[in-house]
Structure 1
């Protein structure tokens, strides 16, 4: 395992003794992945790392979360919704640890438009609060969603993947209804956090794209720096020091996410998809996509659609 990044492969390798409802092989190959399990099988101590996957954990038990260098005592029912790019570790204090967790990769998050609203929400953001303490009402609702996801995952319903995706959406909607955006943000917001939040909001406000006639207007770090009224070097420093990623890589990653979504969910020509994403020439879009994924946009569209039939 890298000292800085835990991958899905790392996660499953460290838990090879645990049975998961969905396959833990054939991951990291650009295909959608989701899993869910009871937390009684969790590790009592996890390394301080960033992750390359999303994870939502219902914590029933006492422990300490070290998140980006700040320690939080979790001594009552809570949901942990960390930003994958922010390093964190968990250290159990009580012997009894219960609850549930689910994890999924970026492809699962990109697969359907229904997740776009959450990309624009405070959830999974580097500037938002990763721990949400639950009252009795919200705890009961969250437990129901997890129990239904786990039951569905172990069942043989043909469309269980779609049903689980809807349950996950309901879970996240419940958090946003119960905890408005303001309460999901840290109490003391630094200038760096405000800048990161401003960048994130500007980036995600551009999506989803609804027409080739309305292409992206901000595609570079300089574009966002101008909109935020800061020097591009300062923006780059804040984002790199906070997330571990460069401004350019975050922008390119979001453009790639949208490219995959448009290729799978629209009938637009490949050139129209590229133009909408700000590529004046189809060859430039093809080169960008192939360099990022190892395949061409056309092959990705054809092969992925066949896989979903």
Structure 2
């Protein structure tokens, strides 16, 4: 087994890296479900750190373990349901596994088989750090019936398997939304308390200050902002878009234009130098970018806004 922390695009890819059996996992379609009992973990089991590019639900009927995300550790106990998303690096450990079902799915699967507006229908998918929830016997019985049906369909692998699985997973998501997150509002969280959004905005401001003062020479891309928070770039992009209404790329473009306007209006810095300060390799590229967003050229803007 490799020692470095992997970034897994699927459960299949993760288990391959960890040296775990993958014969019960279909490597296509971005969906998997299995009873962890069937994996034959050598207990106690402790995983290395990894970062997934998929969402997951863990349904613990009988078992015991722990998930750790950053500095947060969560015990996983009988009759608990645990949801994770493709965000930070994490580890998991198991002390006991009797009946624990794991369901994983990626964004492509959700949009293909449930809804293209999946995060509008189920905004809780983008909630941040979530503790496992111990649920009532009645509710666990409801979701157990659904995930067992999903498992049966997954094992059958018929022509329509994933369409059926998509419908059943939607039922699961609606039930969980009603039980846990009926009033969850990601826009409110983004405006008030989202650490991911606040950290992104702070880093955006700091990075452009560093560019202007010469402390930095390279403009950050989405991957860089994601790396700064140990997040997957797709997850960061979804969080920022849903919670602020603007994609990360728009935030970056708007900040670039804002800084360009400030330099054009309040300094005598040559446009060629501004071009390089803001990460453009050629003045023509900067001018085209500026005109696209403001409808006038940098030269015209300077003339109109310089006293």
Which segments of 5 or more consecutive residues in structure 1 lack a partner in the other structure? 200-220, 256-309
2:38 corresponds to which residue?
41
- Using the alignment, how far apart are the partners of 1:54 and 1:64 within structure 2? 17
The residue matched to 2:124 in structure 1 has which SS? Answer: coil
Q: Pairwise CA RMSD of aligned residues? A: 4.1
Query: Do the aligned partners of residues 125 and 5 (structure 1) sit closer, same or farther apart at CA in structure 2, a change above 3 Å counting?
Result: same
Contact 1:129 1:184 in 2 (8 A): no
Which segments of 5 or more consecutive residues in structure 2 lack a partner in the other structure? 208-221, 243-307
Q: Give me the TM-score of the superposition, normalised by structure 2.
A: 0.57
2:7 corresponds to which residue?
5
1:83 corresponds to which residue?
85
Q: Does 1:72 align with 2:74?
A: yes
Query: Do the aligned partners of residues 197 and 41 (structure 1) sit closer, same or farther apart at CA in structure 2, a change above 3 Å counting?
Result: farther
Deviations, residues 104-154 of structure 1 (Å, cap 9, x unaligned)? 233212214626244564433352415232211111111111110111122
Q: 120-129 or 62-71: which moved more?
A: 120-129
The residue matched to 2:115 in structure 1 has which SS? Answer: helix
Q: Give me the TM-score of the superposition, normalised by structure 1.
A: 0.56
Give 1:178 shift.
0.9
Deviations, residues 23-75 of structure 1 (Å, cap 9, x unaligned)? 32xx5xxxx32221112135432222211222222123121221221112223
The residue matched to 1:76 in structure 2 has which SS? Answer: coil
The residue matched to 1:244 in structure 2 has which SS? Answer: coil
1:250 corresponds to which residue?
237
Contact 1:79 1:131 in 2 (8 A): yes
Deviations, residues 156-191 of structure 1 (Å, cap 9, x unaligned)? 643221111111111111111111355799xxx999
- Using the alignment, how far apart are the partners of 1:73 and 1:170 within structure 2? 27
Q: State how 1:203-218 maps to structure 2 within 5 Å.
A: none
2:178 corresponds to which residue?
177
Query: Do the aligned partners of residues 114 and 183 (structure 1) sit closer, same or farther apart at CA in structure 2, a change above 3 Å counting?
Result: closer
Query: Do the aligned partners of residues 33 and 72 (structure 1) sit closer, same or farther apart at CA in structure 2, a change above 3 Å counting?
Result: closer
Query: Do the aligned partners of residues 38 and 251 (structure 1) sit closer, same or farther apart at CA in structure 2, a change above 3 Å counting?
Result: closer
Query: Do the aligned partners of residues 232 and 80 (structure 1) sit closer, same or farther apart at CA in structure 2, a change above 3 Å counting?
Result: same
